[in-house]
Structure 1
Amino acid sequence: MGQWKDCRNLLVIRLDNMGDLIMNNAALQEIKHQMPSCKITLLASKMAIPIIPYLGTIDDYIQYDAPWMKLTEQDSAASTEALIHVIKALHFDGCLIFNVYSQNPMAAIFLAYMAGIPKRAAYMRENPYALLTDWVPDQEPLFQVQHQIIRDLGLLTHLGISSHTNRLPTLKMPDHPCSLRLAAPLSHYIILNYDVSEEKRRIPVEIAQELIQKLLDQHYPVLLVGKNDNDYLAACRKNIGSRQMFNLIGKTSIPDLLSLVKGARAVITVNTGLVHMACALKTPTLVLYAQTNPQHIPWSQESTFILYPVSAGKRSKNSINIFVDQQHTQAEYTPFTVDTILEKFSELLLRFDRRETEIHEGNQLH
């Protein structure tokens, strides 16, 4: 059947959201580096597809909103059956299935099996027998918890594709500048995002309001971003009247957001896809991180985070996530106040500026 590095037409299955796909790009970049003649087709959700042009690794894609994933839209049984025929007709010679340790990959594995792809690999705790040609027993989270980027690269190591596990994802910048026209040219601005897909990740409104006001008091222009405006986000900015606060919620395309993030002094955000976009662009990033997925913490040198607990009634009912949550004690949580957020933010900027100065001075010596 040959080695994985002999594949020339590879299907990659990554069915999550945009942030998951950005993290996965480290593995995709490594595949491209090790297998430059291999065509990569991505099976991805509608929510992740907008970032594909900026990954620089995907040759083609197929949209599929898997009914076993937590997505806003989900494909039917009929469209899933049709998808199998589409995949079969494309004659892939290998399929890599990437997942989070709390996700059961069996449905995606079965999809590849039914489509007749000859080589199929994935992590899985249980033995899938003939459904996978290359089974990688999943050690997470029972014996270890790795960052998602390391996990994805580790799959390539197991398959003999690559032994490099220190690659970080990057993103391509859009060809055209930001299309948004603000009231005045901005510099030194902060991008602030409180928009999350899960209500349990929301920070208290009073903290959100106070943080905006104190950033404005420090003379930072504040750009509020998010996918869609709602009552919660409106409450977060209520009664804040400043010409230096710009509400861009629901108004930014992906290329706009990439341009804004690249030009920002820093990003402050809850744990969502914007985290991984900012990390990939090496913009200083502070994440207000609800304790839900420890494997997704910000990963760039220019980032840090403040961890805070999710209330008991809103925690995941997934037994694997419950197991991981129980490993974290209250001692790990920093008091979640605006003062601690701003202190962490100041430390981040100081560290970033010091590193930039060292790099600049080092370049002058050469």
Structure 2
Amino acid sequence: MTSWESAENILCIRLDTIGDVLMTTPAIRAVKLSHPRRRITLLTSSAGTAVASLVPEIDEVIVYDAPWLKATAPRLNSIPEYEMAQYLRSLKFDGAVIFTVYSQNPLPSAFVCYLADIPLRLAHCHENPYQLLTDWVKDPEPENFVRHEVQRQLDLVGTIGCNTDEKRLSLHVPEKALAVVDDILQKLGIDQQRPLVVVHPGATAASRRYPPEKFALVVRTLVMEMGMQVIFTGTESEQELVAEIQRMIIAADAIANLTDNLSAKSASFHSLVGCLKLSELAALLQLSSLLISNNTGPVHIAAAVGTPVVDLYALTNPQHTPWSIPHRVLFHDVPCKYCYKSICPEGHHQCLDLVTPESVVNAACELLGVCGAKLRLKR
């Protein structure tokens, strides 16, 4: 009979996106290191697979966009679930660990694993799963308490004897990506003796976006008044957002009659929106002094490479703050917090809108003072 102690071929399931996969990596490490011959396959979404390839503890990745995940688009041509179960059966896994946030139901994933004849199946679950899980951890969240997402998953695998003292997020930045970004920074004229701040103003959920006009005030202050260098990042679809922020910065200086300084100072903020692969974004964050971002994937990439973060934290979920790095989490407390909504149900966005640009600048300066102002060329 298979036991977790002897299981060597393990399927880990995390069907969410980049940040969720990264916050699961300490638990995956604990599973991997608990057996000398253990092999880890991650079943994850199309979005999650981009970062999974950079995680050393993961041996193989299977892409699966599950229809029971919120971010999955309606299917046109897809592999039915029974075909996925047949494929997983062919890989002869000894056990499956299903990682979820407490608002997700693990039972669809458990059922696929059951159909795949995976003998050991572990997950948090609120309701009795009966035969779908061989190892059921009754979910205590949110009724009894709420944990950080990283700790939640570490606690889950701890129930089967998988533990680790190394609880950092796991991500390896390829040397090729570092070289590419090094070259980009040189061509942009980045001065290694001055702070380099990455600003990521986008987010998939509207409820997690700090207002662009306030991002503009933050960046203008950092560049024009404090002599810092700023690089904007984002996806292709966020190019107009960043262009709008840049126009606001330039307009503010024109109004303030600072146009004489503008030509020199404007060279200190640049956009790499839509220009970087994920590995290159990780390299940029590793080479930077600080990240200022909405609470989205780059926050967790920065945490994984050890770069401090100012996290503009919409109070949609309390579990996803930066893990194990110097950081400042900025928000305005509101009665409607922890709504778990992608669109503000109250329509006022006050948990972010009432965060002042001054507080963001002050948080950035505090972290740069603690962590050093020079560009950190880590290898």
> How many pairs are equivalent?
344
Aligned match of 1:17? 17
Contact 1:174/1:255 (8 A) holds in 2: yes
Question: Any idea what SS the aligned residue of 1:6 has?
Answer: coil
Residue 170 (structure 1) aligns with: 170
Other structure's SS at 2:82 match: helix
Deviations 1:146-196 (A, max 9, x none): 11111111011111223x476221321212124253332443211000110
Q: TM-score, normalised by structure 2?
A: 0.84
Contact kept, 8 Å, 1:178 with 1:260, in 2: the verdict is no
The equivalent residue for 1:327 is none
**Correspondence for 1:343 among 352, 362, 368:** 362
Distance 2:175 2:53 in 1: 11
- Please tell me the residue identity of whatever aligns with 2:65: D
Q: Which amino acid aligns with 1:264?
A: S
Decide whether the 8 Å contact of 1:200 with 1:315 is kept in 2. Answer: no
Does the CA contact (< 8 Å) of 2:207 and 2:341 recur in 1? no
Deviation at 1:267, TM superposition (A): 0.8
* Residue equivalent to 2:258: none
Distance of 1:171 and 1:78 partners within structure 2: 30
d(CA) in 2 for partners of 1:290 and 1:333?
6
Counterpart position of 1:238: 247
Deviations 1:287-320 (CA, angstroms, capped at 9, x unpaired): 01111121111112322210246896995469xx
Alignment of 1:208-219 (within 5 A): 208-217=215-224, 218-219=226-227
Alpha-carbon distance in structure 2 between the residues aligned to 1:204 and 1:317: 17
d(CA) in 2 for partners of 1:47 and 1:334?
A: 28
Aligned mate of 1:289, from 303, 313, 316: 313
Which residue identity is paired with 2:235? K
Q: 1:221 aligns with which of 217, 229, 249?
A: 229
**Alignment TM-score, normalising by the size of structure 1:** 0.87
What 5-or-longer segments of structure 1 have no aligned partner?
Answer: 323-329, 355-366
CA separation in 1, counterparts of 2:338 and 2:122?
A: 34
Separation in structure 2 between the aligned mates of residue 189 and residue 345 of structure 1, nearest angstrom = 11
Distance 1:314 1:283, change over 3 A: closer
Pair 1:253–1:309, CA change in 2 (3 A) = farther
Please tell me the residue identity of whatever aligns with 1:293: N
AA matched with 1:349: L
Secondary structure in structure 2 of the residue aligned to 1:296? coil
Q: Give the 3-state SS of the residue equivalent to 1:99 in structure 2.
A: coil
Q: State the one-letter code of the partner of 2:189.
A: A
1:10 corresponds to which letter in structure 2?
I
- State the one-letter code of the partner of 1:223: I
Instruction: Give how far 1:70 is off.
Output: 2.2
Deviation at 1:233, TM superposition (A): 3.4
Identity of aligned residues (%): 32
2:49 counterpart residue number:
49
Taking the aligned partners of 1:334 and 1:195, their CA distance within structure 2 comes to: 15
Q: Which amino acid aligns with 2:284?
A: L
How far has the Cα of 1:341 moved from its partner? 1.1
Shifted more, 258-267 versus 300-309: the winner is 300-309
Aligned twin of 2:254: none
Q: Distance in 2 between matches of 1:10 and 1:152?
A: 16
1:277 corresponds in structure 2 to 301
Partner of 1:94: 95
What is the 5 A alignment of 1:130-141?
A: 130-141=131-142
Instruction: Name the SS for the 2:313 alignment partner.
Output: strand
- CA deviation after TM superposition for structure 1 residue 3, in Å: 2.6
Letter matched to residue 9 of structure 2: N
Q: Identify the residue that residue 282 of structure 2 maps to in structure 1.
A: 258
Residue number among 330, 337, 347 corresponding to 1:306 in the alignment: 330
Decide whether aligned partners of structure 1 residues 268 and 317 sit closer, same or farther in structure 2, where only a CA change above 3 A counts: closer
Query: 1:205, CA displacement in angstroms?
Result: 2.2
* Relative contact order higher in (CA < 8 Å, ≥ 6 apart): 2
Indicate if the aligned counterparts of 1:149 and 1:168 stay in contact, CA closer than 8 A.
no
Q: Secondary structure at the match of 1:235?
A: helix
Q: Aligned runs of 1:82-121 on 2, under 5 Å? A: 82-121=83-122
Equivalent pair of 1:8/1:93 in contact (CA under 8 Å): yes
Q: Deviations over 1:331-360 (max 9, x none)?
A: x99951011111122222223349xxxxxx
